[in-house]
Amino acid sequence: MRITKETKYFAVEPILRRQTEEWHKEQEVKAVRAVLGDDGYLGLTLGQLSQAIDGKNMGAIVQETDPMKIGVFEWYVLRGFQAFIDDFLQKLEKLTPQQNSAEKRAANACMKQTITEGLLFFVRDYFGLHSFREAERVTLAEILLAKKDTYNKVTFQRVYNEIMSKKK
């Protein structure tokens, strides 16, 4: 059976149920490339992520979400989206420097932010943007690179300060 971008999910759903998980993973990789491009989910913008997570608007990621009209490729993109989000959030967490006790106390005094709000503030400041609208255009791949750069700079500075304070 050949599945293309035009294949509708409802037309092949009984066949899909009989396939192995490995087969589904292969189809998902093909579908994500076909629908989102070579960068896959990392090519999504912060605005698209925000709409999908905060607004529960999956139409920000795929064109069709109606179960009777959705294509198989779009279905695979949506199927893999939650796993991508879990992985993306885990990567962001690893790229967040540990706070010392004073930083934790100060952070606890601040208003809580959603993950997308926090990313909007970070992206606006890191890239020197003038508005959140501009920040919404930054891709998730660019955000990961910026977080890695920030993590390395903060870690370097902390270790350097520690070394210098021991020399005194």
Q: Is residue 56 left, alpha or beta, with left meaning phi > 0 and alpha meaning psi from -120 to 50?
A: left
Which residues is 139 bridged to in the sheet? 45
N-to-C CA span, the chain: 72
Confidence of residue 6 (pLDDT cuts 50, 70, 90): confident
The predicted structure's pLDDT at residue 64: 81
CA quadruple 137, 141, 145, 150: dihedral positive or negative?
positive
Question: Within 10 Å of residue 9's Cβ, how many Cβ atoms?
Answer: 20
d(CA 51, CA 116): 9
Q: Do 137 and 45 form a contact (C-beta atoms < 8 A)? A: yes
Give the ranges where the chain is alpha helix by DSSP (H): 9-17, 21-36, 46-53, 72-94, 101-108, 115-126, 132-135, 140-167
Render pLDDT for 13-39 as a digit per residue (tens, 0 to 9). Answer: 898 999 999 999 999 999 999 999 999
pLDDT surpasses 70 at 55: no
pTM listed for this prediction: 0.85
d(CA 33, CA 24): 14
Render pLDDT for 116-155 as a digit per residue (tens, 0 to 9). Answer: 999 999 999 999 999 999 999 999 999 999 999 999 999 9
CB contact burial 39-69 (16+ within 10 A = b; e otherwise): ebbbebbbbbbbbbbeeeebebbbeeeeeee
The predicted structure's pLDDT at residue 1: 66
Confidence of residue 43 (pLDDT cuts 50, 70, 90): very high
pLDDT surpasses 90 at 5: no
Confidence of residue 159 (pLDDT cuts 50, 70, 90): very high
Q: Do 26 and 84 form a contact (C-beta atoms < 8 A)? A: no
Phi and psi dihedrals of 134, rounded to 5?
A: -65, -40
d(CA 144, CA 155): 16
Render pLDDT for 56-103 as a digit per residue (tens, 0 to 9). Answer: 778 788 888 787 888 999 999 998 998 999 999 999 999 998 888 898
